[in-house]
Structure formats: structure tokens, C-alpha cells
Chains A and B, each alone.
Chain A
Amino acid sequence: GQQVQQSPASLVLQEGENAELQCNFSSTATRLQWFYQRPGGSLVSLLSNPSGTKHTGRLTSTTVTKERRGSLHISSSQITDSGTYLCAMGNPSSFSKLVFGQGTSLSVVP
């Protein structure tokens, strides 16, 4: 079946450092949607794009569909960025279920 693999599983950064989270997926017909979740919290949609690069604030999502990989770059990390980042793949242009990775747990320390 369709699969999504995220790496690293966990990451510890000092405040101000940059983070690069990776997502590999099994289908070339894919858009990626990145989510953020605090323990016990809701899933917050961060970015969604089928290919290329998309920015919002300190976040940059890059998807290379042909190579079945994507990444989320977080610049100038802040303590409040701590939490779990989830990558999900879905059909690029229409309704479809999302298949989620297991997430990257990010801890930003002073």
C-alpha cells in the first residue's frame, strides 16, 4: 500500500537553529500536506503543495514529486516550535484520503 516515511524520528535544536525535516513517499501522483501537532493537541495545517516550493513565515515546503521526496525547512527555530511535525500524501488535485507518516518530534531548547 501507499507509504510515507519521515526522518528523523526526533530532533533537538537550540533556539535559533534551522531544521530540515524529510518525507519520502511511495507514489509519484502526490501532493504533500504538512501538519503540526502539540501533545494532546489538534492537527494544524502548515503547508500543502503538489510540487516545487512554498513558503509561509519561517516555513518552506519543497516537494520533488519525481524523486518521491519532500522536506520542511524551519528557519530560526523558536521554543514554541516544539511539537510533532507530520507529513501526509494525497492526490494532487482532488479529494482523496491522506496517508500520514509517523512524524518528527522536534524539541527546541534555550
Chain B
Amino acid sequence: NAGVIQTPRHKVTGKGQEATLWCEPISGHSAVFWYRQTIVQGLEFLTYFRNQAPIDDSGMPKERFSAQMPNQSHSTLKIQSTQPQDSAVYLCASSSGLGYAEQFFGPGTRLTVL
């Protein structure tokens, strides 16, 4: 079991450019979650999918951020017109929903917007 895979591990963009982050959940897990982590705000929930359907996007900034899950093996988080305040570590987690619905996290993508 390779765990949750996230690519790229590091991404540097210029202000106003687009960034696409990729996540491959653990095989067989039906839920995928996106979070972001900053020193100031800590860990914040962004959005999640269950069986590829968007369920809760209450943490997503209303503009510029979007997430998709086109198939059960990957999800993407896209940030348009990136701003310096978008700099953070973006974390993806997956869960099988069995037992206590424990979430398992990937290594994260560190996004730096210059």
C-alpha cells in the first residue's frame, strides 16, 4: 500500500499564474479530503468528495479555487490567479469509511507564490 500520493511535492508560481495540485487516494478508499496548512491558520478543511461526488466545499475560498474528482483514482485542486496568501502546504487525505472513518494523509504539496 503506497499510501496517499500527492504531486508535485513543491510548486513555485508567480503571482497571477495557475496551480494544479494532484492527489491519488489509497486504493479502495471512497472519500477524498483536501486541507491546507499554514503557520498562522494551522490546518483548515477545504473540501471533500465521496464516491467522486462533491459533498462539502464549505472551506473553499469562493473565488479562484476549484476541486474535481474525475475518477476514483485521483482528485485535483486548482487555484487560478494565485496570490501570495495562497502559499501553504496543501494536504490530501483519504478514508475508507470503515470503523471510525480514520483519515490518512499524503505528504502534501508546498505551494509558494512569489
Contact = CB atoms under 8 A, between A and B. Distances in A.
A96 B113 CA distance: 30
**B-side interface mostly:** strand
A78 interface: no
B101 A93 contact: yes
Contacts of B59: 97
Interface stretch (A19-27, A43-51, A66-74): A43-51
Contacts of B33: 97-98
Interface stretch (B61-69, B74-82, B102-110): B102-110
A9 B91 CA distance: 23
B105 A45 contact: yes
Interface string A76-96: 000000000010101111111
Given A95-B55, A98-B45, A33 B103 contact: yes
Given A100-B42, A102-B42, A103-B42, A95 B100 contact: no
Q: How large is the interface on A (under 10, 10 to 19, 20 to 34, 35 or more residues)?
A: 20 to 34
Interface string A37-59: 00000111100111000000000
Choose among A43, A88, A96, A100 the residue with the greatest number of B CB atoms under 10 Å from its CB.
Answer: A43
Given A33-B100, A92-B100, A94-B97, 14 more contacts: A35-B105, A42-B105, A91-B101, A93-B100, A94-B101, A95-B55, A95-B97, A95-B101, A97-B56, A98-B35, A98-B43, A98-B45, A99-B45, A100-B43
